[in-house]
Chains A and B, each alone.
Chain A
Amino acid sequence: MNSLNQVCLRNTDTDQSWTLEAYESIGGYSAWRKILKEKTDPNLIIEQIKKSGLRGRGGAGFATGLKWSFVDRDNPTQKYLVCNSDEGEPGTCKDTLILTLNPHQLIEGIAICAYVMGATKAYNYLRGEFILHYKRCEAAIKEATEKNLLGADCLGSGVDIEIFNVLGAGSYIVGEETAMLESLEGKRGMPRYKPPFPAMHGLYGKPTTINNTETLASVPVILEKGADWFAELGTERSGGTKIFCISGHVNKPGVFEVPLGTPFKDLLEMAGGIRQGRKLKAVIPGGTSMKLINANDSLDMKMDYSDIASKGSALGSGGVIIMDDSTCMVQALCHMMRFYEEESCGQCTPCREGSGWVYGILKDMLAGKAKPGDVDELYRVAKNIEGRTICAFGEAISWPVTSFVDLFREEFEFIVANNGKSMVESKLPGANHLAFGWPAYEQRDKL
């Protein structure tokens, strides 16, 4: 398929693709050199980005060009750019490839964005486990600095840009942009209430722009090949390509950069179809924080922002999790909720208290301790969290719960009525992978 891997993963077949040499051999840094040479008006770059239809790839899908226009470039104070390489959303493993295989393109994107913001310092925040990634990014910065593509007075243009790679220490919520700023300040990663927005009051209280790795890595290609080229790759309201990570019950799970608007069916085919000839049951299209979509809806879905939204979910981070008919939805949800219970930052009441409550009800269901009415209770508690928290983590708890129950209520009612016996297992004994290892699971909760 020739439309694969055209933007962020365009060089991944190249030998030693992470080196400056390899990156320059495919035209890397040409956009940046041009900007430095011509001192391009930042407004023109913002116009290009707007025209390209690029939207944030971190989860919220906010229009990147618009976001870039929020920072007041003429404000003489220090400004910052932060690249969100935390990649924590379960089901998502795309930035990891950019960071290891194409770090220079990200760095070029960061440099361009920093230039547009008038920011002389940028931080690339990688999740704590990304040690190899960190080393690759450090090496890339070193190479680029040696060529004066970064540093003081880049290529004699008078532009100063310093990029620092920093590492997290294990926290999903730090992926939320304001929590990331707190973490960069050496604090607990607790999201800030907005307003004030980071564009006004960000890192160390200074104007700050935050973008996802994939978003920033797309920028050089847009400027190189033109906004129209990029826009035309995708659909009308979703320009460009998107990296999707297909995981779960497929024969060939993998990461594919495809034009936005690619039919889900095609994507499923690239991933080798449902494993062992089983039937598709449901799809989480954009990381576990997004709502579940049932098999029918997904099969005629196009992978772009608006079409997924029309199915009641969102494109999110592009982490597509496929579940076949052997999956017990109660177990799957309980699993997910254990994650959210663990990762809630704890500052705001509905999330701190609600995450544990929801998880507790689900555990009761699996343990056969649930009472009639608990499905409604689960639903009610989840609904009570939605829209009442500081950050979108509240929705990340609420949406999966409500969508799972909406689509598979009978499974939940069944398990309550049958003292913890799963409907799926009673139909397909032994097929459900989630059922393995429950003892270990309970054991960890005790630790």
Chain B
Amino acid sequence: MSQIINEKMAKEIDKWVAKFPSDKKKSAVLMALRIVQDEYKWLKKEHVQAVADYLDVPNTEVGEVLTFYSLYQQKPVGNHTVKVCTSLSCCLNGAYSVLGYVENELGIKCGQTTKDGQITLQEAECIAACADAPAMIIDDKDFYRRVTPEKVKEIISNIKDGDRP
């Protein structure tokens, strides 16, 4: 067992490997990266190598995948990511004002991480919440719809209070 992929992660990855034909382990690369990222928050070269070794895929091919999909973080990020959708529907409904509130609340600019390393703020492309614009997504899984300045405050303080896993 490599030091990077521990038993728990390996088990998770194996579950995904099992979804694909036995000679198509490569299909699990996307999720394997996600699982490793969940643990380490962002993906370094050695993580790529670990996934490559684990799934027996050339490391360049893992790197190709990593740099193609936008949910993978290639630079250091905080423990949580807050992404504000800035696609057209959200923008028409004031997404940039929302982004401004979040920036104020966190005291950082979009793209930065709070000093305590807790939260990274980023923009998201359309997250399929257009009818509930403006929208945000936290940790790439929890959707917040029709956000307002008040809601932003509450959401952020919840994260800060560790009210999230």
A-to-B contact residues, CB < 8 Å: 78, 87-93, 95-96, 123, 127-132, 164, 166-172, 183-189, 204, 245-249, 253-255, 284, 288, 319, 321, 323, 327, 332, 335-336, 339, 342-343, 345, 433-434, 436-438, 440-441, 443-444, 447
CB pair A164–B19 under 8 Å, yes or no, is yes
Given the known inter-chain contacts A92-B130, A436-B96, please indicate yes or no for A187 contacting B61, CB distance below 8 A.
yes
Measured CB to CB, the closest approach of chain A to B50, in angstroms, equals: 16
CB pair A336–B131 under 8 Å, yes or no, is no
CB pair A91–B27 under 8 Å, yes or no, is no
Residues of B with C-beta under 8 A to A166? 16, 19, 30-31
5 contacts between A and B (CB under 8 A): A88-B126, A170-B70, A253-B130, A319-B130, A437-B95
CB pair B91–A434 under 8 Å, yes or no, is yes
Measured CB to CB, the closest approach of chain B to A235, in angstroms, equals: 24
CB pair B96–A247 under 8 Å, yes or no, is no
Residues of A with C-beta under 8 A to B53? none
CB pair B97–A436 under 8 Å, yes or no, is yes
CB pair A186–B92 under 8 Å, yes or no, is no
Given the known inter-chain contacts A128-B71, A204-B21, A434-B91, please indicate yes or no for A91 contacting B130, CB distance below 8 A.
yes
Q: Which of A93, A166, A254 lies at the interface centre, i.e. has the most chain B CB atoms within 10 A of its CB?
A: A93
CB pair A336–B88 under 8 Å, yes or no, is yes
Q: How far is A260 from B30 in the complex, measured between Cα atoms in Å? A: 37
CB pair A189–B92 under 8 Å, yes or no, is no
Question: B71: nearest residue on chain A (CB-CB)?
Answer: A170
Question: B68: nearest residue on chain A (CB-CB)?
Answer: A188
Residues of B with C-beta under 8 A to A204? 21, 24
Q: Pick the contact of B65 from A187, A434, A444 — CB < 8 Å?
A: A187
CB pair B87–A249 under 8 Å, yes or no, is no
CB pair A183–B30 under 8 Å, yes or no, is yes
Given the known inter-chain contacts A127-B128, A183-B30, A188-B65, please indicate yes or no for A247 contacting B133, CB distance below 8 A.
yes
Residues of A with C-beta under 8 A to B103? 440
Q: Pick the contact of B29 from A91, A170, A172, A186 — CB < 8 Å?
A: A186
CB pair B31–A437 under 8 Å, yes or no, is no
CB pair A87–B30 under 8 Å, yes or no, is no
Q: How far is A167 from B69 in the complex, measured between Cα atoms in Å? A: 12
Closest 5 CB pairs of A and B: A437-B96, A170-B71, A169-B69, A170-B70, A131-B141
CB pair A184–B128 under 8 Å, yes or no, is no
Assess whether B94 is interfacial by the CB under 8 Å rule.
yes
Residues of A with C-beta under 8 A to B125? 88, 90, 172, 339, 342-343
Q: How far is A330 from B93 in the complex, measured between Cα atoms in Å? A: 17
Given the known inter-chain contacts A93-B130, A437-B100, A444-B123, please indicate yes or no for A186 contacting B57, CB distance below 8 A.
yes
CB pair A90–B126 under 8 Å, yes or no, is yes
Measured CB to CB, the closest approach of chain A to B106, in angstroms, equals: 13
CB pair B28–A247 under 8 Å, yes or no, is no
Q: How far is A42 from B87 in the complex, measured between Cα atoms in Å? A: 42
Given the known inter-chain contacts A336-B88, A440-B110, A441-B96, please indicate yes or no for A171 contacting B131, CB distance below 8 A.
no
CB pair B30–A186 under 8 Å, yes or no, is yes
Residues of A with C-beta under 8 A to B163? none
Given the known inter-chain contacts A436-B94, A437-B99, please indicate yes or no for A247 contacting B128, CB distance below 8 A.
no
